[in-house]
């Protein structure tokens, strides 16, 4: 009896664990892996393979990188393969209805949130930025909407006080791989049933912008800390001191009461603590405009800040 077949579509690191889990399960045929075209990277602007392409080629899979999967040529190829499933993870292109109709069973997507919350491009970052205590991964049947398809399986994970978008990304990527290997067999044997999303409960996770990295000191210490962790590693959080940009890498919200205006340095001996709209934020690690990331105590030795200094643009 032949194994169920999959066309896998994915591009960045987040998608690699799903492909690896499918490969290692040995339960499926994967006649084609599809990834975005290679892009120039680094100072030399050399073309580098996408993480999914690199993994797929190392395992001997056929890889295609169409500029558009909506092209007649690619659609013809997908129809010739006639897979049971598409598995789509952070692919980076929108699939039209002609494509969605091709799999014999259905096209399945892995999304880094507990749908219907955080539909969109930045679910991992936004969950951290919003101070959520729990997030997770959802597998769903793809439709023409933005993450609006029927849900299949979910798995949850807590967001810890030191989690960043980077640490959560890696954890959810692994969970997504585990979940897809449970989802596809469940669809085939009927134990997994598609469940419509509650559109009234939906929220949207818009793509991040560089401008969001500037710290708003009028927010509470806890919210600033959440936003910073959600923007790590990109776009990164920053503020200004005497017109010079300072990148803030790690903070600790304190419950210390203060009457100082938001953005005011209140302690600057061995600790660097700044008043916020509610509470005080201790800056643990930071980086000057032309310097290296370092503990606040080391930074202050070369860049002293008197209490009363105002941070911000």
User: What percentage of the chain has pLDDT greater than the value 70?
Assistant: 100
Q: Residue 225: what pLDDT?
A: 98
Res. 242 pLDDT band, cuts 50 70 90: very high
Distance CA 228, CA 212 (A): 10
Residue 152, annotated ligand binder? Answer: no
For residues 169-185, give the mean pLDDT. Answer: 98
SS (H, E, C) the chain: CCCCEEEEEECCHHHHHHHHHHHHHCCCEEEEEECCCCEEECCCCEEECCHHHHHHHHCCCCEECCCCCCCHHHHHHHHHHCCCEEEEECCCCCCCHHHHCCCCCEEEEEECCCCCCCEECCHHHHHHHCCCCEEEEEEEECCCCCCCCCEEEEEEEECCCCCCHHHHHHHHHHHHHHHHHHHHHHHHHCCCCCECCCHHHCCEECCCCHHHHECCCCCEHHHHHHHHHHCCCCCCEEEEECCEEEEEEEEEEECCCCCCCCCEEEECCCCEEEECCECEEEEEEEECCCCCCEEHHHHHHHCCCCCCCEECC
Distance CA 125, CA 207 (A): 9
Which tens digit of pLDDT belongs to each residue from 219-232?
A: 999 999 999 999 99
Residue 168, annotated ligand binder? Answer: no
Residue 2, annotated ligand binder? Answer: no
Q: Residue 1: what pLDDT?
A: 66
Domains and CATH numbers, the chain: 5-205 (3.40.50.170), 210-302 (3.10.25.10)
User: What percentage of the chain has pLDDT greater than the value 90?
Assistant: 94
Higher-pLDDT residue of 212 and 43 is: 212
Which tens digit of pLDDT belongs to each residue from 193-204?
A: 999 999 999 999
Q: Residue 149: what pLDDT?
A: 98
Does the pLDDT of residue 4 top 90, yes or no? yes
Q: Kindly report the backbone phi and psi dihedral angles of residue 102, in degrees, each rounded to the nearest multiple of 5, phi listed first.
A: -75, -45
Does the pLDDT of residue 43 top 80, yes or no? no
Q: Residue 40: what pLDDT?
A: 84
Residue 22, annotated ligand binder? Answer: no
Q: Residue 154: what pLDDT?
A: 98
Which tens digit of pLDDT belongs to each residue from 283-298?
A: 999 999 888 999 999 9
Which tens digit of pLDDT belongs to each residue from 126-136?
A: 999 999 999 99
Q: Residue 97: what pLDDT?
A: 97
State the chain's mean pLDDT as an integer.
96
């Amino acid at each position: 009896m032949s194994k169920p077949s999959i066309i896998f579509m994915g591009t960045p690191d987040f998608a690699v664990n799903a492909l690896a889990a499918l490969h290692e399960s040995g339960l499926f045929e994967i006649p084609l892996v599809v990834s975005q075209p290679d892009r120039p990277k680094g100072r030399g602007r050399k073309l580098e393979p996408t993480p999914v392409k690199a993994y797929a080629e190392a395992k001997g899979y056929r890889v295609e990188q169409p500029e558009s999967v909506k092209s007649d040529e690619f659609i013809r190829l997908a129809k010739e393969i006639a897979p049971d499933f598409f598995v789509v993870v952070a692919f980076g292109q929108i699939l039209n209805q002609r494509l969605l109709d091709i799999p014999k069973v259905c096209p399945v997507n892995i999304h880094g949130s507990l749908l219907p919350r955080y539909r969109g491009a930045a679910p991992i970052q936004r969950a951290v930025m919003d101070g959520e205590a729990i997030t997770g991964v959802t597998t769903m049947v793809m439709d023409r909407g933005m993450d609006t398809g029927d849900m299949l399986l979910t798995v949850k994970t807590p967001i810890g006080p030191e989690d960043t978008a980077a640490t959560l990304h890696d954890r959810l990527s692994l969970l997504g791989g585990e979940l897809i290997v449970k989802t596809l067999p469940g669809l085939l044997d009927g134990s997994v049933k598609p469940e419509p999303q509650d559109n009234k409960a939906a929220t949207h996770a818009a793509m991040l912008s560089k401008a969001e990295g500037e710290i708003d000191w009028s927010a509470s210490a806890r919210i600033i800390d959440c936003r910073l962790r959600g923007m790590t590693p990109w776009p990164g959080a920053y503020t200004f001191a005497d017109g010079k940009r300072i990148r803030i890498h790690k903070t600790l919200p304190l419950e210390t009461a203060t009457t100082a205006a938001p953005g005011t340095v209140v302690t600057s001996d061995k600790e660097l603590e700044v008043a916020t709209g509610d509470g005080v934020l201790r800056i643990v690690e930071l980086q000057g405009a032309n310097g290296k990331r370092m503990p606040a105590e080391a930074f202050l030795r070369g860049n002293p800040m008197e209490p009363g200094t105002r941070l911000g643009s």
